[in-house]
Amino acid sequence: MMRFMSNSRPEGSKSDIGRRAVGLFHPYRWHAAALFALVATTVAISLYSLVVLAGLVGEMTSEDGNRSGLLLGFFIYGGLIVAGALLSVVESYTNQIIGQGVMHRLRSSLHDHLQRVSIRFFTSTRTGEILSRVGTDVNGIQQSVTGTFTDFLTNLLTLVIAFGIMLTIEWRLALATLVILPLWVYPTIRVGQAMRRLMREWHDEMGDMTAQLEETLSVSGSMLVKSFGRADHEREKFEQSNDNLRSLSIRRMMAGRWFNMGTGLFGALIPGVAYWYLGGLVIDGDMSVEQVVAFAMLAQRVFGPFASIARINTTMLSSLALFERIFEYLDLPVEVDERPSAHRVEHSRGQLAFEGVNFAYVDERNVLDDVSFEVAPGSMLALVGPSGAGKTTVTYMLQRFYDPQRGTIRLDGHDLRDLTLDSISDAVGTVMQDTYLFHSSLADNIRYGRLDAPNDEVNAAATAAGLDELLERLPDGLDTVVGERGYRLSGGEKQRVAIARAVLKDPPVLILDEATASLDSRLERVIREAMEKLAAGRTTVVIAHRLSTVLAADQILVLDNGRVVERGRHSELLALGGLYSTLYEEQFREGQLALEEAEAATKTGEAVAGS
């Protein structure tokens, strides 16, 4: 299990987890009461029909029996059977309302909670494992809940009512049966514990397999496997996991087979014992044939439900493993949450400030160490530094993906922790370095910036991001489906879609994480012009990648090992001769030479044209 979740597994005995699982049914307590009444009525009708059936046997063997008595008994028996069948339909419908309602709330709670947990969780957990919990595990619980609860209640009531009737017929044999039945309790518990353990191992293995398939059968995963020729390696990994699943499945299915065989054999012997013992009483004249038949059928109905309860118990114990895995996710800490007193920031001016901010990821050194800076409304801040200096982390903190361990981050003078999460999201727009697009149309991906945006504004945003040429080439224009993660588009095209999304959102604070890194010089110029228009009147924080970015910045922060080592404008930092000067020579100098060559070529072309 990943480090992030090492302490998140629910603690306590299976009874604690069981009580928590039962608590999920609390909103449906009145439905459960109705279900109990329906089941009790259905069971009573079913058992009474056996007594009526035994009465038919008595009518046949009685000296004064007659056909009219048989016919009346048959009509009563048939009426009871039909009534029980109709009630079972209502019972099944009520059961589905309860079971599906519980699963609906559980899925919603799980999805909503996962939306609130820290980005840290998603960076340390494979997507396939998450999908396995939300899909396979919840479906497994659903199968248990919708069938097991009613079966348990039906069998329990059958056991109680049938045993009560048996006591009125022959109390000594009934008590003997009651003494024998508890012998099955201990093996039932042991089998249930084994199945619970095997169930957990099976779902853990299924989670691993799902994660592997999600990674290797995605577009990027498939391309990586093919490019490195690792098909055989991935096949061996999958076969090993598949073999483990087969082994665990066989062990899980066979865990209770000997126990079930024993209960089946004993249940089959009960009628024989009843007829042998009670038959002697009939011969002695102490009991009627009708009573013997009724007792034998009821005895089977007693042991059958008990054996079923035993099997259901093993199923319920094994399903606790699924509840454990679900509760494990529901118990994940929400590191970044809204305070009860949180308020919205309306019409943000875009003033930003870091005040002595320290931040570290789990079990790591400080990624940001005593970082302080201010960004005036409408100005541009460029972040520069070597890889791992903390530039991207600064942008994460501005969006409140994480909270600082020490210090304060402010928007318009407000501590981000005092603001509602949706107001921070409204105020800050981002173009990520790794652009993510949904498997949907271009229009839908752009409209994600503002879901209620009309088509003309989506078109305007696409134009502002330089997507006109792309749209002209595409047969369906903005209605073109971009494929998984946007793989039908080039890197530069995906970034322009992300920019269009930010243009449509129109936030007062804009974060650009190397937004033009995948564009050639011509496209960069188009995007830069669009960005200049977009940045007008709003605060912009840019992780600098191109020389044009740092030249346009009102303030440059140079980060190294999580600390701000230099700050100022381009010319000021060059004059210091420090880290920025070194980075300039390594990263930006080539861009400046290319820019000068392009300007010289332009002047030469103009001169030739003039001559």
Torsion angles phi and psi, residue 432, rounded to 5:
-75, 155
Q: Do the Cβ atoms of 65 and 44 come closer than 8 Å?
A: no
- 201-252 confidence digits (pLDDT tens): 887 787 777 777 766 666 566 655 665 566 777 778 778 888 888 888 777 7
| Shared-domain flag, residues 360 and 282 | no
| Shared-domain flag, residues 296 and 415 | no
| Shared-domain flag, residues 506 and 448 | yes
| Shared-domain flag, residues 304 and 437 | no
Residue 7 DSSP SS3: coil
Distances, alpha carbon 193 to alpha carbons 187, 258, 305, in Å: 10, 15, 21
Distances, alpha carbon 167 to alpha carbons 170, 269, 272, 292, 307, in Å: 5, 20, 19, 13, 20
- Nearest-angstrom CA–CA distance, 246 and 320: 21
Torsion angles phi and psi, residue 366, rounded to 5:
-60, 125
Domain finish residue from 277, 297, 330:
330
Burial group, residue 275, by CB count within 10 angstroms (0-12, 13-18, 19+): middle
Query: Which of 137-151, 290-304, 376-390, 420-434 is most confident?
Result: 376-390
Structural domain range at position 101: 3-206+255-330
- 111-165 confidence digits (pLDDT tens): 888 888 877 888 777 777 787 787 777 777 776 766 677 777 787 888 788 778 7
Residue among 157, 203, 196 nearest 18 (CA): 196
Distance of CA 386 to the CA centre of its chain: 36
| Shared-domain flag, residues 383 and 514 | yes
Q: What is the CATH number of the domain that holds 372?
A: 3.40.50.300
Domain finish residue from 269, 295, 330:
330
Cα Rg, the chain, nearest whole Å: 36
| Shared-domain flag, residues 151 and 57 | yes
- Nearest-angstrom CA–CA distance, 601 and 488: 35
Domain assignment of residue 230, yes or no: no
Domain assignment of residue 218, yes or no: no
CB atoms within 10 A of CB 117: 18
Domain assignment of residue 344, yes or no: no
Domain finish residue from 295, 330, 365:
330
Q: What is the CATH number of the domain that holds 72?
A: 1.20.1560.10
Say which residues have a Cβ less than 8 Å from residue 13's Cβ, sequence separation at least 6: none
Domain assignment of residue 146, yes or no: yes
Domain assignment of residue 75, yes or no: yes
| Shared-domain flag, residues 368 and 472 | yes
**Chain mean pLDDT for the chain:** 78
Residue among 200, 180, 209, 323 nearest 255 (CA): 200
| Shared-domain flag, residues 319 and 358 | no
Total number of domains constituting the chain = 2
| Shared-domain flag, residues 298 and 411 | no
**What pTM did the predictor assign?**
0.69
**Is the pLDDT confidence value at 396 over 80?**
yes
For the record, the structure tokens of 15 come out as 């009874």
Residue 540 DSSP SS3: strand
For the record, the structure tokens of 276 come out as 């042998």
Domain assignment of residue 437, yes or no: yes
**Is the pLDDT confidence value at 190 over 60?**
yes
| Shared-domain flag, residues 377 and 320 | no
**Is the pLDDT confidence value at 290 over 90?**
no
* AA identity, residue 285: G
Q: What is the mean pLDDT of residues 434-459?
A: 84
Q: Do the Cβ atoms of 458 and 506 come closer than 8 Å?
A: no
- Nearest-angstrom CA–CA distance, 296 and 277: 10
| Shared-domain flag, residues 314 and 435 | no
- Nearest-angstrom CA–CA distance, 495 and 502: 11
pLDDT-based confidence at residue 297 (cuts at 50, 70, 90): confident
* AA identity, residue 598: A
For the record, the structure tokens of 332 come out as 């994940």
| Shared-domain flag, residues 315 and 405 | no
Domain assignment of residue 11, yes or no: yes
In degrees, rounded to 5, the angle at the alpha carbon of residue 61 between the alpha carbons of residues 60 and 62 is 95
Domain assignment of residue 412, yes or no: yes
